Amino acid sequence: MSETAKSRAAELSHLRSGDFAAGDPIPLPLTMASIFHTPGVETGVDQYGRYDNPTWRAVEHVLGHLEDAQCVSFPSGMGAISSVFFALLKSGDRVLLPADGYHATRAMAERFLKPFGITCDSRPTPTFLDGGFEGYSLVFVETPSNPRLDICDISAIAKAVREQGGILVVDNTTMTPFGQRPLDFGADIVVSADTKAVNGHSDVLFGHVASRNPDIIAKVTDWRAMAGGIPGPFEAWLVHRGLETLEVRFDRMCSSAETIAQRLKDHRAVRGLRFPGLNGDPSHNLARVQMERFGFLISFELASADKAEDFINNCQLIEAATSFGGVHTSAERRSKRGDAVPPGFVRLSIGCEPVEELWKAIETSLDRISG
């Protein structure tokens, strides 16, 4: 992690301290209110809970500190993504999506954008630059992609999209702002499902949109208020608490993932191993340029669906669950969720367990299915 990232981490827990008065609580208070005291005609104050909330603002302030951008919070990652689509697109626009990214993004485009007269195309992440971006109003990438962990060149895509007058959106869910900051590489918008590593405790749904373009932020904020896609104050409070330990958790998860990926490479049961931090991985050279860390996700294939289910369900320190980024190591056979991957494909999300104990449990389960 760079010195700049470490500085952001050091400052994160003290962002509120400059506004403290004697007797103020140091932890963030939870504001559970739908209405606020507004005598007369008031401006510049909270009035109604669909428009703003002090707890949201605190979370958005921390996220903005990490992204170096304005942020707008949402009740889920898909809420953040849909806000970008519906706030910025109109009938007749063309959108380009990753063919191998999170399946719900493509499903939403098919079911809800196309009926409004928006053309939706897709390309694989590894060859996303091929074909150019002429005619696309909005280009959406996810890097590393979920679940295959392919990477695309954000800077090159941003330059090419900008030359054609389009907007580049990057889904940064798999990396968090500590692992990668797409806005630094020229992206116009970042979206993230903070449900995952940002919160980190698998107990809340949340998301955010970040941009350094005030017009984009204004449109997304207006859409949130009018559509009512707002986060709850308690959910925002939980995410704020999670953010205070994100750097510590992310550092351990990434370090453990590097160790475990190196060991998986040599196990006889494992094939098709993907982890951006491995020498020889197709994404490794690019990952070294645009990522602060290599992440906590690993993907690989086992011999069959049954072998994969056996490995996941009978590993002592793996939780069989969808999603990723929590303190508990979890895994899922992604073909059962509709991803275009082999039946034995496993997405492994490394948690915060001590790495040697975690590896021992993983190795034991792999040895059993390959014996």
The pLDDT of residue 6 is 85
Residue 369 predicted with pLDDT over 80: yes
Mean predicted lDDT score pLDDT of the chain: 95
What is the per-residue pLDDT across 168-209, written as a single tens digit (0 to 9) for each?
999 999 999 999 999 999 999 999 999 999 999 999 999 999
CATH superfamily of 247-370: Aspartate Aminotransferase, domain 1 (3.90.1150.10)
What is the pTM for the complete model shown? 0.95
The pLDDT of residue 59 is 98
The CATH architecture annotation of domain 3-243 reads 3-Layer(aba) Sandwich (3.40)
Portions of the chain given CATH number 3.40.640.10: 3-243
The pLDDT of residue 1 is 63
The mean per-residue pLDDT over the stretch 285-296 comes to 97
- Rounded distance, CA 59 to CA 55, Å? 7
The pLDDT of residue 340 is 82
Question: Nearest Cα to 322, choosing from 300, 304, 338, 343?
Answer: 338
> Which region among 289-298, 304-313, 334-343 has the lowest average model confidence (pLDDT)?
334-343
- Rounded distance, CA 43 to CA 304, Å? 62
- Rounded distance, CA 174 to CA 177, Å? 10
Portions of the chain given CATH number 3.90.1150.10: 247-370
What is the per-residue pLDDT across 105-154, written as a single tens digit (0 to 9) for each?
999 999 999 999 999 999 999 999 999 999 999 999 999 999 999 999 99
The mean per-residue pLDDT over the stretch 220-233 comes to 97
The three-state secondary structure class of 220 is helix
